[in-house]
Amino acid sequence: MAHAQHSETRIVMGVIGDDIHVVGNRIIQLALEESGCRVFNLRTRNRPEHFCQAALEVNAHAIFVSSLNGEGEYWCTGFRARLQEIGMGNVLLYVGGNVVVGNRPESEVVALFRSYGFDRVYHQRPDIGPAIEDLFRDLTNGSTQR
């Protein structure tokens, strides 16, 4: 069910790096749209600058970055700094999927991506629901976990 109060929430989303996993990307898009968000899906094989440029063009409230092949660790380094350079430093920045290669403790992965400037990290979480709930909470509170 769509939430009318979020109908103007603009989300840029996509898969980072050379990752071509499109099914999860589409499921996330549909869930965000069903929640009432306006979604700008960059689809697969994106670089950080693609997300940043799209966020600037649509004046995004949030960016959802996903990775299934583990390339997130490489491609997401300095993501927040890139947004700050173009005046979009206050955009909510979320990352999820299998964002690193190998098995590591979730706390280590979360700390790593927080150091890159991400507000929320959903490493190997199969359900998009908590991320959407966090998004609406973060938008309502006007703050993030930063």
Neighbours of 14 (CB within 10 A): 23
Q: Is 21 part of the annotated catalytic residue set? A: yes
pLDDT tens digits, residue range 116-134? 999 999 999 989 999 999 9
- Global pTM? 0.93
Determine what percent of the chain is predicted with pLDDT higher than 90: 89
Q: Which residues of 31-56 are buried (b: 16+ CB within 10 A; e: fewer)?
A: bbeebbbebbbbebebebeebbbbbe
Q: What number of other Cβ atoms are within 10 A of residue 3's Cβ?
A: 13
- Active-site position among 6, 18, 21, 61: 21
CATH 3.40.50.970 fits 4-140, yes or no: no
Q: How many helices (H) and strands (E) does the chain have?
A: 6, 5
Q: How confident is the model at residue 142 (pLDDT cuts 50, 70, 90)?
A: confident
The tens digit of pLDDT for each residue in 102-116 reads 999 999 999 999 999
- List the chain domain ranges: 4-140
The amino acid that residue 77 corresponds to is T
In the chain, the amino acid numbered 83 is L
Catalytic residue among 3, 6, 18, 19: 19
Active site residue 123: no
Say how far apart CA 121 and CA 134 lie, in whole Å: 11
What local confidence, expressed as pLDDT, does residue 109 receive? 98
CB 19 within 8 A of CB 69: yes
